[in-house]
């Protein structure tokens, strides 16, 4: 069975991967801890994901850390939804444009 990730919300902008990992290690072994950052600015988006080494620790982390403080903010902890369960994002592009590349630059036909 695939390992279940934990979603951690309401993170302080100062929280790093290392401080997130250290906070969850009080529950059990952490396989990975990642604070999601903005691609352009590199600044934290205020949420992250933690993967515990074993599934029973997931529920223990939710029970013990949800609502607790990390770096001065009360965090929210819950099971992350798998990628395929998330709704598709619609950027309002008209849907049936095909592979034309979009934008306002028209291809010449001569």
**Beta-carbon count within 10 A of 10 CB:** 14
CB 27 within 8 A of CB 46: no
Three-state secondary structure along 13-80? CCCCHHHHHHHHCCCCCEEEEEEEECCCCCCEEEEEEEEECCHHHHHHHHHHHCCCEECCEECEEEEC
> How high is the pLDDT of residue 83?
75
Where in the chain are the domains?
14-82
> How high is the pLDDT of residue 51?
96
Which residues fall within 8 angstroms of residue 59, CB to CB, at 6 or more apart? none
> How high is the pLDDT of residue 89?
72
> pTM for the full model?
0.75
Dmax over Cα atoms in the chain, in whole Å? 68
Domain 14-82: top CATH class? alpha beta
Give pLDDT tens digits along the chain (110 positions).
457 899 999 999 999 999 999 999 999 999 999 999 999 999 999 999 999 999 999 999 999 999 999 999 999 999 998 877 667 777 665 555 555 555 566 666 66
């Amino acid at each position: 069975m695939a390992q279940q990730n934990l979603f951690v919300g309401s993170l302080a902008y100062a929280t790093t991967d290392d401080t997130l990992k250290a906070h969850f290690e009080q529950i059990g072994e952490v396989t990975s801890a990642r604070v999601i950052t903005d691609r352009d600015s590199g600044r934290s988006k205020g949420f992250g994901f933690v993967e515990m080494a074993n599934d029973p620790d997931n529920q223990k982390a939710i029970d013990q850390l949800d609502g607790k403080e990390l770096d001065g903010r009360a965090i929210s902890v819950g099971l992350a939804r798998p990628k395929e369960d998330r709704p598709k994002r619609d950027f309002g592009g008209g849907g049936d444009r095909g592979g034309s590349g979009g934008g306002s630059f028209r291809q010449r036909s001569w």
